Amino acid sequence: MSDKNLVDTLLNLDKKKITYVCWKNISELNSSLIGLSDLDLFVPNIYKSKFIDYLESESWIELINPISEYPGIKHFYKLGKNSNFYHIHVYFKLITGNSWIKEYILPFDDWIVENREWNSEYKIWVLNSSSQAYLFIFRHFLKNSSIIGRILYKKNFFFIRRNGNLFIRNLIKKLKALLILKIFIIVRVF
């Protein structure tokens, strides 16, 4: 069961007119809401000050990892009533890339907000399923666009393939087909 405190924090974002959307790792929402995983939120940059002020007023603490600090990404933590630590991983810009090297800023801020939908089970705004799939594929291609990226991403991708749910497994099959198509097109061009 989720800590009402975290759910209340999310519900109050709407009351305070702060737009947000859970944009990735949505399959882990239950784990995020019980403090076992981080919650990945996108908040448009125009709401950044308002969002940070609100979280601070609710006793969320910002922690900084000096090794992997990126402008536009912040980490907030709070101890819940059930003694779990909750972690909100907030993006004010869609920054992506390999775990320790966020090389790309995606120009999809408006698109992300336009494609959010209300998840009544968890009481949170999430990216709709088709947009999640498109973004997953896009990010997958970006992460595999360099040799280092392929090495780093292959390790993480193997874990997902072995332990992922049915949706992820089906998505992986589609990705493999797209990769074969991409290779075929490149070979045909040259």
Instruction: Check whether 80 has a pLDDT greater than 90.
Output: no
Binned at pLDDT 50, 70 and 90, residue 21 comes out as: very high
Closest Cα to residue 63, out of 38, 43, 84, 80? 38
CATH number at residue 105: 3.30.460
Instruction: Choose from 76-80, 93-97, 150-154 the range with maximum mean pLDDT.
Output: 76-80
H helices of the chain, in order, are 4-15, 29-33, 48-57, 109-114, 129-143, 147-163, 166-189
Q: Are 92 and 71 in contact (CB under 8 A)?
A: no
SS3 state of residue 29? helix
Mean pLDDT of the chain: 79
The separation between the first and the last C-alpha atoms of the chain, rounded to the nearest angstrom, is 55
85-134 pLDDT, tens digit each? 899 999 999 888 766 666 778 889 999 999 999 999 999 999 999 898 88
d(CA 135, CA 145): 15
Domain that holds residue 51: 4-189
Instruction: Name the helix (H) or strand (E) containing 144.
Output: none
d(CA 163, CA 169): 9
How many distinct structural domains can be found in the chain? Answer: 1
